[in-house]
Amino acid sequence: MPTPRQLLILAAAAGSVILIALVTLASAGAVSPAVAALLGMAAVLLGVQLLIVTEIRRVDGKALRADARTKRCETGIAQVAAAVERLDSRIGEIAESLGRERHRHDEDLRAILASLGEERLHAMSLRQEMKELVDDLLPRIASGMPGTAGTAGTAGTDVRAGRRDGA
């Protein structure tokens, strides 16, 4: 099938040949000038009709291609919208899971900090008791307790074996 441009070129060539033939016939006296003018107008009108039909067909083809492209784009948009919906639900699940984990992590951290605080308080009370004991023992050691000669062990005691000599 010929393309619209080929049809247009063919119609223009045929119209030119018909107009030349009509002018020749009218000048030779074979056809009256009024009939030649009417036939020329009919040829021009047929050419204009052919041009209009060709343009309409061309515009209609463009509209069909644009419609097909629009449908492809709509299909792509629908697929993207479905993927976004799936991602949105998945992100919602992940956010909820992260919220639960964060809450659990916060609770664990609070428990650890509370435990450390309790251990620190306990260590501080032990430190205070030890300090009191040391404060109580230092003056005694400095003044010399009865029964000690200022030495750490008793005479005749083997400190490593834990026995007295001669036993």
Strands, E, within the chain: which ranges?
Answer: 157-158, 163-164
Q: For the beta carbon of residue 36, count every other beta carbon within 10 angstroms.
A: 19
Q: What is the mean pLDDT of residues 73-90?
A: 96
What pLDDT does residue 58 have? 82
Q: How far apart are CA 88 and CA 38, in angstroms?
A: 73
Q: Mean pLDDT across the stretch 5-21?
A: 81
Closest CA to 23 of 13, 12, 36: 36
Per-residue model confidence as pLDDT tens digits over 34-75: 888 888 888 888 878 877 887 888 888 899 999 999 999 999
| Beta strands 157-158 and 163-164, pairing class | antiparallel
- Which two tokens mark 106? 């916060």
Question: pTM of this prediction?
Answer: 0.41
Query: Is the pLDDT assigned to residue 88 strictly greater than 80?
Result: yes
Burial of 146 (0-12, 13-18, 19+ CB in 10 A): exposed
Instruction: Tell me the three state secondary structure of residue 164.
Output: strand
